[in-house]
């Protein structure tokens, strides 16, 4: 059961009722990977030569590596295909926020790359995780949880339609898992949050089906892999149990491997089931790749994430109904924010970092393209 780890019969009952209500509202006729008839499972077309792929998401995309693993896989498997991969993640993002500032977030930040494919993965923030704190368990919270899921449903559907009208093919990924294991004590587990994300996965599948978009159930694959491994090793976590960065939210390298594996399996390029990597395997399907190739991928991922910082602040400016596309306006806005922070005797290291990055954006963008070329060349000659 999804709530088997929650102590206390009364709490378990309330949360089961909540989940059942949500499933009744959003997911009539369950479509999870483990219960879907084989002929109903979404098939995702592989990426083709000339594709430009934008990965639209939150911090799991911004700071993650699943898109970089996909780039390396394609370079090795299809060295004759030139495919461009763009990290378009922003920390804390959600579907409703994207729609509220779509002139920048969609038209400039995503569609400005002229993508042929947009991969959307949202939900971890949309679910409103704070509503699952133990002390927040009451009737009002139950209503707020349902409202958050309804907002996710309507916003994701609007977002997918907006993208499709612009032309690119849309692939919807379900959100990743929230780690609820009590094998480690910090941070406090928000019990019930992962069940709500499972509901988000149901919603995402329905939105994709109703809109004609493609779908990959990342949540089901990650949850299954996590549970199987934890049955053997309770201290394991797909978000990195025992690591200083483990916040129960952001997948570690193993988690991003599973995300990439899920996409490639849905594309028919790897055989099911989706599984955790074998020791030493960094890229799904290729247990032995040259260190030079993996290092190029790591460097490209690092620069791509770095370039997301100016975009993140332009997005914040757009949310204030200001125009970040004018360079002078953006610089003035950043300096005003830094001055305001300093007036309150607060440090503003991220703003300083962005101000330092802005003059280098074009050069770093060119370096990304150069690294992609090197990845393809190294894949050919490995």
Measured CA to CA, the distance from residue 237 to residue 71 in angstroms comes to 25
Per-residue pLDDT tens for 99-110? 999 999 999 999
Q: What are the Cα distances from residue 65, in Å, to 16, 71, 152, 158?
A: 34, 10, 25, 27
Closest to 148 (Cα-Cα) out of 112, 83, 192: 192
Measured CA to CA, the distance from residue 241 to residue 34 in angstroms comes to 26
Measured CA to CA, the distance from residue 147 to residue 25 in angstroms comes to 11
Mean pLDDT (whole number) for 320-336: 94
Q: What is the DSSP string of 139-158?
A: HHHHHHHHHHHHHHHHHHHH
Task: Answer yes or no: are the C-beta atoms of 109 and 316 closer than 8 Å.
Answer: no
Mean pLDDT (whole number) for 259-285: 93
Q: Where do the domains of the chain lie, and which CATH numbers do they carry?
A: 9-289 (3.40.50.1110), 296-381 (no CATH)
Measured CA to CA, the distance from residue 14 to residue 7 in angstroms comes to 12
- 286 phi, psi to nearest 5 deg: -135, 85
Task: Answer yes or no: are the C-beta atoms of 80 and 51 closer than 8 Å.
Answer: no
pTM of structure: 0.88
Per-residue pLDDT tens for 214-267? 999 999 999 999 999 999 988 888 987 556 667 899 999 999 999 999 999 999
Measured CA to CA, the distance from residue 90 to residue 313 in angstroms comes to 9
**Which one-letter DSSP state was computed for residue 233?**
-
Task: Answer yes or no: are the C-beta atoms of 34 and 68 closer than 8 Å.
Answer: no
Confidence band of 76 (pLDDT split at 50, 70, 90): very high
- Crossing angle for the helix pair 9-26 and 139-166, to the nearest 10 degrees: 30
Q: Is the pLDDT of residue 30 over 90?
A: no
Q: Report the DSSP beta bridge partners of residue 117.
A: 53, 169
Q: Round the average pLDDT of the chain to a whole number and report it.
A: 88
Task: Answer yes or no: are the C-beta atoms of 287 and 280 closer than 8 Å.
Answer: yes
Task: Answer yes or no: are the C-beta atoms of 89 and 155 closer than 8 Å.
Answer: no
Q: What are the Cα distances from residue 377, in Å, to 53, 161, 364?
A: 20, 37, 20
- 87 phi, psi to nearest 5 deg: -80, 115
Measured CA to CA, the distance from residue 205 to residue 210 in angstroms comes to 9
Per-residue pLDDT tens for 113-124? 999 999 999 999
């Amino acid at each position: 059961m999804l709530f088997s780890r929650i102590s206390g019969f009364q709490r378990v009952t309330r949360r089961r009722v909540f989940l059942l209500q949500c499933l009744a509202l959003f997911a009539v006729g369950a479509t999870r990977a483990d219960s879907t008839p084989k002929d109903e499972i979404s098939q995702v077309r592989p990426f083709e030569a000339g594709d430009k792929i934008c990965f639209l998401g939150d911090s799991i995309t911004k700071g993650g590596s699943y898109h970089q693993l996909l780039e390396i896989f394609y370079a090795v498997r299809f060295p004759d295909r030139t495919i461009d991969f763009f990290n378009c993640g922003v920390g804390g993002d959600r579907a409703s926020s994207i729609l509220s500032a779509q002139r920048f977030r969609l038209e400039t930040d995503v569609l400005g790359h002229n993508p042929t494919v947009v991969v959307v993965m949202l939900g971890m923030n949309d679910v409103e995780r704070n509503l699952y704190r133990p002390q927040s368990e009451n009737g009002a919270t139950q209503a707020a949880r349902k409202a958050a899921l309804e907002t996710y449903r309507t916003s994701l559907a609007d977002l997918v339609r907006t993208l499709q009208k612009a032309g690119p093919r849309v692939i919807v990924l379900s959100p990743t898992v929230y780690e609820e294991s009590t094998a480690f004590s910090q941070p406090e587990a928000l019990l019930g949050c992962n069940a709500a994300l499972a509901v988000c996965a149901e919603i995402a599948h329905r939105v994709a089906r109703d809109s004609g978009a493609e779908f990959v159930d990342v949540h089901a694959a990650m949850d299954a892999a996590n549970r199987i491994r934890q049955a053997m090793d309770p201290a394991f976590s797909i978000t990195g149990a025992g690591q200083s960065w483990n916040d129960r939210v952001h997948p570690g390298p193993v988690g991003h491997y599973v995300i990439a594996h899920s996409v490639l399996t849905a594309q028919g390029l790897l055989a099911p089931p989706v599984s955790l990597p074998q020791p030493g395997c960094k890229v799904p399907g290729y247990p032995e790749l040259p260190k030079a190739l993996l290092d190029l991928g790591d460097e490209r991922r690092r620069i791509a994430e770095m370039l997301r910082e100016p975009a993140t602040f332009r997005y914040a400016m757009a949310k204030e109904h200001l125009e970040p596309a004018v360079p002078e306006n953006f610089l003035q806005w950043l300096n005003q924010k830094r001055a305001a922070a300093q007036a309150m005797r607060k440090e503003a290291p991220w703003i300083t970092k962005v101000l330092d990055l802005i003059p280098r954006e074009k050069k770093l963008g060119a370096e990304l393209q150069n690294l992609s070329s090197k990845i393809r060349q190294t894949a050919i000659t490995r």
